[in-house]
Chain A
Amino acid sequence: MDFFNDLVTNPGITKAMWPAFIETMQMVAIAGVFTVIIGLPLGILLLNTSQDGLTPNKPLNVVLSGIIVNITRSIPFAILMVSLIPFAKLIVGVSLGPVAASVSLTIGTIPFFARLVETALREVSGGKIDAALVMGSTKMQVIRKVLVPEAMPGIVAAGTTTLVTLIGYSAMAGLVGGGGLGRLAYNYGFQRYEPAIMVVTIVIMVVMVQLVQVIGDRIARVVDHR
């Protein structure tokens, strides 16, 4: 019964859990918003500068796709986070805490999300793009009125996957000074060996992921008219 008693009395749960949860939400929310704001245009650029895009541009595509996206994605996230600490300090002025961690998180997930967006956009049939061009669309109109709306179910699914990944990454961020549930689980659960903390943290993370997935799937269904 110690374990269950611990659940309601352990200060790690009663006092530290809520602020940690808020920090995690902060990281996920900030990084999520910026990932979409930067990653969506980057995904569009990845597709349209490629050979079969609207505006093929080999040098730009090589830089974006080959260098920036692929290199960022091939660095293990924990290492990327540590190496980006000076950069985070430059951007937000601090190197510790959820806001600083958000910078590294965003940079870590942008290439991931951009690649998924590119794949979703590639699914839009060439016939639809031809039809839009024949009707007199500018390239910008093709992107805004055809590519993005037609790929919306895929883009929403990409967003869901990215958010789930972000929740996982945010826990890792806790280890290098980001705070949040990750740090809580590490400090209390691992270093002090308090299994109740570990279990509760895991449950919260699982519920968060499930919620994101269910809501994401639902939105994807609403925007999917295929």
Chain B
Amino acid sequence: MITVTDLRKVYQQGDRTVVALDGVSLHVDAGQIHGIIGHSGAGKSTLVRCLTLLDRPTSGSVAVNNQELANVSDSDLRTARRRIGMVFQHANLMDSRTTAQNVAFPLELIGTPKAKIAEKVNALLELVGLTQFADAYPAQLSGGQRQRVGIARALSSDPDVLLCDEPTSALDPKTTDEILALIKSVRDRLNLTVLIITHEMNVVKQACDSVSLLEAGRIVEHGAIATVVADPARRLSQALLPMPGKLPADLPAGVVLDLLYSGSQATEPVISSIARTFNVDVNVLAGSVENLGAHQFAHLRIQLPEGSDITAITNHLLANGVAVTPKEAK
């Protein structure tokens, strides 16, 4: 597990003071995949550099399995860093080393015997499915293969935490799926704590158990995927399960409601239940249904005819666990 407490990073840029991280706190349990999402400039890169201690945070702490990392001496820092394995956006492999030699790098640093290195490297290459590319150089590999090597390398020092900085941002959609599946499968096998820092909402949807929204150096929203999606007032919900399209301008008169519910919360088919109970015609204007955080979520925009008993219908929906947001009809 990893616990970050009140992490601050303040830069001095000329005579201007830049607060890059303004008290970031988060906690991720072992075996969880946590996404940190934010636009560029939100402080993602600074957060990564502070978590890996490439930059010393101004204040605050980073602890892996209750062992403090941020305030150790320079010599202990190297040992401490080995607790966190890091995967980079562009893999950052050494071009002069083969796949196997790249994976061996962290082991060479601490003088692991050659036979032990070979054994471990073989096991890791098998784990990421690159056994037949052991002697290939990075230039001979595809982007997805390079990222697999990066993951194997990050795992070779037996870290407790895998920190992934935009791991799929340079990859095509299919390769992205493969890399995320690989990250999930290593998490399952090694019970790793995984932090994925990304600007891609898709990555959070596919891989994460919980998510934080980073904005201007602060975490403004966080929680389990199912929890954040279920609350339509949250920005993360709007980002993870957006309502497709806009309200059409030539909409006939009526009341428009946005409904959000999950498969487990909604006890009966929602639309037909309104239609039957209140004897109204329900028009579905837009919607999306997705599997998020092991639940199925539906986000629907419906229109009811003028003169419907909106209060009664809303209460009925709320009683069935459906979040209702009235929309201004044109």
Contacts and interface: CB of A to CB of B under 8 A. Distances in A.
A134 B82 CA distance: 7
A134 B54 contact: yes
Nearest to A133: B54
Given A128-B92, A150-B95, A225-B137, A134 B86 contact: yes
17 contacts: A128-B94, A130-B88, A130-B92, A131-B86, A131-B92, A131-B93, A132-B105, A135-B157, A136-B78, A137-B78, A141-B109, A145-B105, A150-B94, A150-B95, A225-B96, A225-B138, A226-B95
Contacts, number: 64
Contact of B88 (A127, A133, A136, A141): A127
Interface of A: 125, 127-128, 130-138, 141, 145-146, 149-150, 152, 223, 225-226
B106 interface: yes
A135 B88 contact: no
Contacts of B81: 133-136
B182 to A, nearest CB: 19
A205 to B, nearest CB: 34
Contacts of B52: 130, 134
Please report whether the interface of chain A is mostly helix, strand, loop or mixed according to DSSP: helix
Contacts of A152: 96
A151 to B, nearest CB: 9
Contacts of B90: 127
Contact of A135 (B82, B95, B138): B82
Contacts of B109: 135-138, 141, 145
B139 interface: yes
A225 B136 CA distance: 10
A212 B108 CA distance: 35
A146 B101 CA distance: 12
Contact of B105 (A127, A135, A225, A226): A135
Contact of B94 (A130, A134, A136, A149): A149
